[in-house]
């Protein structure tokens, strides 16, 4: 029987790539549910094409518009986070692809874990905010978490060659983003356009800004800690601008296993869907002779302060990661709206963490409260200076 898939966030960059992959995989996979927040035009097109059982419009202001655009349809239309939870945990669903941006996807991802689904997870923020809770819930309910983030998919693939207990180091590669090699002064006045001009990956705006601050890599260190159950001291970052090696694992015998391919998110999405099998893909073949050389450098943690803070926060744990993530999400919104400068993003994160009293052994409510507090703190700072 075909595997039935719910895509949470089907209208985004990962979501649209996931639909491409599912289409290519053919009759063994079918779309069960789709969700979108603002772009209901695209969601309506997707529903007309893939005819899912359910469609979720998470932004309540957009449901009316969506229904009008869709017209006559057999698809059940749901709204809000309850709709998303239903799409993620329905009995008939086999695989849930987490492709929402930010912590907004947390409740539905937790519901999928509780329902014992296979979770193909690109949405890294829930793992950063509630990694312990999410991985524990998955373990208790027999849900399998498979990474879609390219670095974590690479680590997961490398781990087919050895056990987690045999890991010496995980080396997460990073493209370095648009400000690779820039000085603190050059970054001071970076514009929105410059920050959105990613050299290798075509992604949603939030993660593109995260790549420019290198917050993305900081989030990925925490994501790796939870996905692979390794201490952060064993996770290193290496800048690799060509984005061919997607990450590496060094085992205790000194062997380093790297996963390489042309940069294309369809590959890690497909691997998560077909795992443990590999099937033919659309991937452009890798021609190393045409590349000539692959280069590497250590990141400058003084220029990219998010990295330094990320390691500290990963060790602190508790509500610190929730504040780290929420302050970043809120600050990016302000930056994209033109209300703060690029450098203020990391400054605001630092400010929130300094002011926050960390609660360890945090429950979901504590994490959500910390998230809310940090968002208000960012707004409060702007009102004061504004």
The residues that touch Mg ion, with contacts defined as CB under 5 A, are 149-151
Minimum CB distance to Mg ion smaller for 151 or for 242: 151
Q: Which of 86, 84, 131 is nearest to 105 (CA)?
A: 84
CA-to-CA dists, residue 375 to 99, 211, 222, angstroms:
22, 21, 20
For the bound state, the minimum distance from the C-beta of residue 131 to Mg ion, rounded and expressed in Å, comes to 16
For the bound state, the minimum distance from the C-beta of residue 72 to ligand NAD, rounded and expressed in Å, comes to 24
Minimum CB distance to ligand NAD smaller for 85 or for 167: 85
Does residue 99 belong to the site contacting ligand NAD (CB under 6 A)? yes
Residues in 260-319 that interact with ligand NAD by CB under 6 A: 265
Query: Which of Mg ion, ligand NAD, none sits in contact with 151, Cβ below 5 to 8 A by type?
Result: Mg ion
Burial group, residue 280, by CB count within 10 angstroms (0-12, 13-18, 19+): exposed
Does residue 13 belong to the site contacting ligand NAD (CB under 6 A)? yes
For the bound state, the minimum distance from the C-beta of residue 268 to ligand NAD, rounded and expressed in Å, comes to 8
Minimum CB distance to ligand NAD smaller for 103 or for 143: 103
Cis peptide before 55 (omega within 30 of 0): no
Q: Which of 58, 137, 247, 344 binds ligand NAD (CB under 6 A)?
A: 58
Tokens 């069960």 — which residue? Answer: 32
Burial group, residue 257, by CB count within 10 angstroms (0-12, 13-18, 19+): middle
36 — phi, psi (to 5°)?
A: -145, 160
Q: Which of 243, 224, 352, 341 is nearest to 295 (CA)?
A: 243
Q: Could you tell me the two tokens for 343?
A: 């450098």
- DSSP code at position 242: T
The region of 135-143, 203-211, 297-305, 319-327 touching ligand NAD under the rule CB under 6 A is: 203-211
Is the CB of residue 331 less than 8 Å from the CB of residue 378? yes
Tokens 């400058």 — which residue? Answer: 300
Task: Please count the other Cβ atoms lying within 10 Å of the Cβ belonging to residue 63.
Answer: 18
Does residue 147 belong to the site contacting ligand NAD (CB under 6 A)? no
Q: Which of 29, 37, 127, 381 binds ligand NAD (CB under 6 A)?
A: 37
Does residue 125 belong to the site contacting ligand NAD (CB under 6 A)? yes
For the bound state, the minimum distance from the C-beta of residue 220 to Mg ion, rounded and expressed in Å, comes to 6
Query: Which of ligand NAD, Mg ion, none sits in contact with 73, Cβ below 5 to 8 A by type?
Result: none
Does residue 149 belong to the site contacting ligand NAD (CB under 6 A)? yes
- Summarize as ranges the residues that interact with ligand NAD (CB under 6 A): 9-15, 36-38, 58, 99-101, 104, 122-125, 149, 201, 203-204, 206-207, 265
């Amino acid at each position: 029987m075909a595997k039935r898939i719910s895509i949470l966030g089907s209208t985004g960059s990962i979501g649209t790539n996931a639909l491409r992959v599912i289409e290519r995989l053919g009759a063994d996979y079918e779309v069960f549910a789709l969700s979108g927040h603002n772009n209901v035009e695209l969601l309506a097109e997707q529903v007309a094409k893939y005819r899912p059982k359910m469609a979720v419009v998470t932004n309540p202001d957009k449901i009316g518009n969506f229904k009008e655009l869709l017209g006559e349809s057999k698809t059940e239309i749901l709204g809000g986070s309850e709709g998303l939870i239903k799409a993620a945990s329905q009995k008939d669903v086999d695989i849930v692809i987490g492709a929402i941006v930010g912590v907004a996807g947390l409740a539905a991802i937790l519901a999928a874990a509780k329902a014992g689904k296979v979770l193909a997870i690109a949405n890294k923020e829930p793992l950063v905010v509630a990694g312990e809770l999410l991985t524990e819930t998955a373990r208790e309910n027999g849900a399998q978490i498979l990474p879609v983030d390219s670095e974590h998919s690479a680590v997961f693939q490398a781990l087919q060659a050895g056990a987690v207990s045999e890991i010496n180091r995980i080396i997460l590669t990073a493209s370095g983003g648009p400000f690779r090699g820039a000085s603190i002064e050059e970054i001071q006045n970076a514009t929105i356009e410059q920050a959105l001009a990613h050299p290798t990956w075509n992604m949603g705006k939030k993660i593109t800004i995260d790549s420019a601050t290198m917050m993305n890599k900081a989030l990925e260190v925490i994501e790796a800690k939870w996905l692979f159950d390794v201490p952060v001291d064993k996770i290193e970052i290496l800048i690799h601008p060509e984005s061919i090696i997607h990450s590496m694992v060094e085992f205790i015998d000194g062997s380093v296993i790297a996963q390489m391919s042309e940069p294309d998110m369809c590959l890690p999405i497909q691997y998560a869907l077909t795992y443990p099998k590999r099937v033919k893909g659309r991937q452009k073949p890798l021609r190393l002779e045409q590349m000539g050389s692959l280069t590497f450098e250590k990141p400058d943690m003084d220029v990219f302060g998010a990295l330094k803070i990320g390691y500290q926060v990963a060790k602190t744990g508790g509500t610190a990661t929730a504040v780290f993530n929420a302050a970043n999400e809120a600050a990016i919104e302000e930056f994209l709206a033109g209300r703060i400068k690029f450098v203020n993003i990391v400054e605001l994160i630092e400010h929130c963490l300094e002011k926050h009293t960390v609660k360890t052994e945090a429950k979901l409510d504590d994490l959500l409260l910390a998230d809310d507090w940090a968002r208000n703190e960012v707004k409060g700072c702007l009102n004061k200076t504004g």
